[in-house]
């Protein structure tokens, strides 16, 4: 979500994928024998390996969660949630998940589609007459799926929202000034403002804020009681992460402020959660929307978010020769890709030196949560 250099984005993704592939290697394909094998045996040496990774990358702290089928089988913090105070990272450490918020917003939209208040593939202006894009062609054709799949042809324009005090309504009203760079549905152009607008559309159609809608329809049924939307709310709870980065031209770690100016753009990346509670979200995603036997999210909503909408470039292959995950396609709020021998869905998040990755294998029911402090 944050504006970061291309090189740093690639390094950050590499670090997260190293952890993810390491964990997948431990749990796949032996997941079918999960009840008969001791988890501790499979994880022999993992703590030592994590210690080495933190040292090699000079990372202040990492939290890891592994979900298999409908259970959180492993949750552990490594390093520090506050490096300066030497406070340990834990599975309950609250963390800015940044753009992993986007799937929550896509699901909120899907719930409104189920209620007949929206349609994935009809012009969004039919349901929200007040929305305006740059020209009449976009006004008459852009759908909510286009907005959530980053395929409107409109590029990021992140400096409009970054460190601004624009409200969600004010950002929504500025869509009409954003000139498209590519034709509609012809290119993947990541756009946080479209998610902010989608959150405002949720508010218009549900007659309650995006935050209230998610808390009532998703957080409360999943028991995500510690999950919040602002840094101010996060700081009221003692177990929360503190961002650090390397001082330029040195390996010294220095504390930096949390990024807090997210009220307007919140549906693109403001959720703050922890491994324990994000595992409940992951369990629902992997089990057709069910958690503890209760249907929290309709299966059709989750299926819609997985439907391929726009091809993405093989950035890691082209820049670093990374071949593990190939030919990604964006759905809504997440990517899907080919992983050797199976199918893979994932999304990352980045804001103010806090990075998250949520990934799972839908047909194998293995899910992974990784939080990292430090973007160097």
Q: Give per-residue pLDDT as tens, 134-146.
A: 999 999 999 999 9
What confidence score (pLDDT) does residue 44 get?
A: 85
Contact between 189 and 330 under an 8 Å Cβ cutoff? The reply is: no
Contact between 190 and 156 under an 8 Å Cβ cutoff? The reply is: yes
What confidence score (pLDDT) does residue 191 get?
A: 97
Residue 324 has pLDDT above 60, yes or no: yes
Q: What are phi and psi of 239, to 5 degrees?
A: -95, 85
What confidence score (pLDDT) does residue 320 get?
A: 85
Q: How far apart are CA 319 and CA 312, in angstroms?
A: 14
- Residues facing residue 372 across a β-bridge: 62, 355
Specify the DSSP class assigned to residue 228: B
Q: How far apart are CA 347 and CA 102, in angstroms?
A: 9
Mean pLDDT of 251-280: 95
Q: How far apart are CA 66 and CA 310, in angstroms?
A: 29
Domains of the chain: 6-96+230-262+270-308+340-373 (3.40.710.10), 107-210 (no CATH)
Residue 16 has pLDDT above 80, yes or no: no
Q: What does 77-138 look like in DSSP terms, one character per residue?
A: EEEEEETTTTEEP-TT-BEE-GGGGHHHHHHHHHHHHHTTS--TTSBGGGT-TT---SSHHH
Q: How far apart are CA 265 and CA 191, in angstroms?
A: 11
The structure tokens listed for 48 are 């030592």
Q: What is the mean pLDDT of the chain?
A: 91
* CA-CA-CA-CA torsion sign (338, 40, 277, 273): negative
Q: How far apart are CA 51 and CA 78, in angstroms?
A: 7
Q: How far apart are CA 79 and CA 85, in angstroms?
A: 12
Q: Which residue has the higher pLDDT, 163 or 302?
A: 302
Residue 29 has pLDDT above 60, yes or no: no
Is the model's pTM score more than 0.85? yes
Specify the DSSP class assigned to residue 258: P
Nearest Cα to Cα of residue 368 among 106, 62, 74: 74
What confidence score (pLDDT) does residue 2 get?
A: 47
Structure confidence at residue 173 as a pLDDT band (50, 70, 90): very high
- Long-range residue pairs from 358-363, CB within 8 A, at least 24 positions apart, any chain: 358/97, 358/100, 358/103, 358/278, 358/282, 359/20, 360/67, 360/282, 360/285, 360/286, 361/24, 361/28, 362/286, 362/306
Q: Which residue has the higher pLDDT, 17 or 109?
A: 109
- Residues facing residue 342 across a β-bridge: 339
């Amino acid at each position: 979500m944050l504006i970061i250099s291309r090189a740093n984005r690639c390094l950050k993704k590499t670090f997260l994928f190293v952890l993810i592939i390491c964990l997948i290697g431990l749990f796949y394909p032996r997941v079918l024998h999960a009840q008969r094998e001791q988890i501790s045996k499979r994880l022999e040496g993992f703590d030592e390996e994590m210690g080495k990774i933190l040292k090699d990358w000079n990372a202040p702290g990492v939290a890891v969660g592994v979900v298999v089928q409908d259970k959180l089988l492993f949750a552990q913090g490594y390093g520090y949630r506050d490096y300066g105070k030497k406070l340990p990272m834990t599975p309950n450490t609250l963390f800015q998940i940044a753009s992993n918020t986007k799937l929550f917003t896509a699901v909120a939209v899907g719930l409104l589609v189920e209620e007949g208040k929206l349609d994935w593939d009809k012009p969004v202006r039919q349901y929200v007459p007040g929305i305006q894009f740059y020209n009449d062609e976009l006004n008459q054709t852009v759908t909510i799926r286009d907005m959530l799949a980053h395929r409107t042809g409109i590029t990021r324009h992140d400096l409009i929202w970054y460190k601004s005090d624009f409200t969600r309504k004010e950002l929504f009203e500025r869509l009409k000034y954003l000139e498209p760079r590519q034709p509609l549905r012809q290119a993947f152009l990541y756009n946080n403002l479209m998610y902010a607008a989608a959150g405002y559309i949720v508010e218009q159609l549900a007659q309650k804020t995006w935050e209230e809608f998610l808390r009532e329809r998703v957080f409360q049924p999943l028991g995500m009681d510690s999950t919040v939307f602002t840094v101010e709310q996060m700081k009221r709870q003692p177990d929360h992460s503190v961002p650090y980065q390397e001082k330029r031209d040195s390996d010294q770690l220095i504390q930096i402020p949390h990024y807090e100016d997210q009220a307007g753009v919140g549906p693109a990346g403001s959720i703050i959660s922890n491994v324990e509670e994000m595992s409940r979200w992951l369990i629902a995603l992997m089990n057709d929307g069910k958690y503890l036997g209760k249907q929290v999210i309709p299966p059709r909503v989750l299926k819609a978010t997985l439907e391929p909408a726009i091809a993405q470039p093989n950035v890691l292959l082209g820049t670093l020769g990374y071949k593990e995950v190939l030919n990604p396609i964006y759905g809504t709020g997440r990517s899907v890709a080919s992983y050797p021998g199976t199918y893979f869905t994932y999304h990352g998040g980045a804001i103010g030196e806090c990075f998250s990755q949520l990934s799972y294998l839908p047909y194998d029911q293995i899910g992974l949560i990784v939080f990292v402090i430090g973007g160097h």
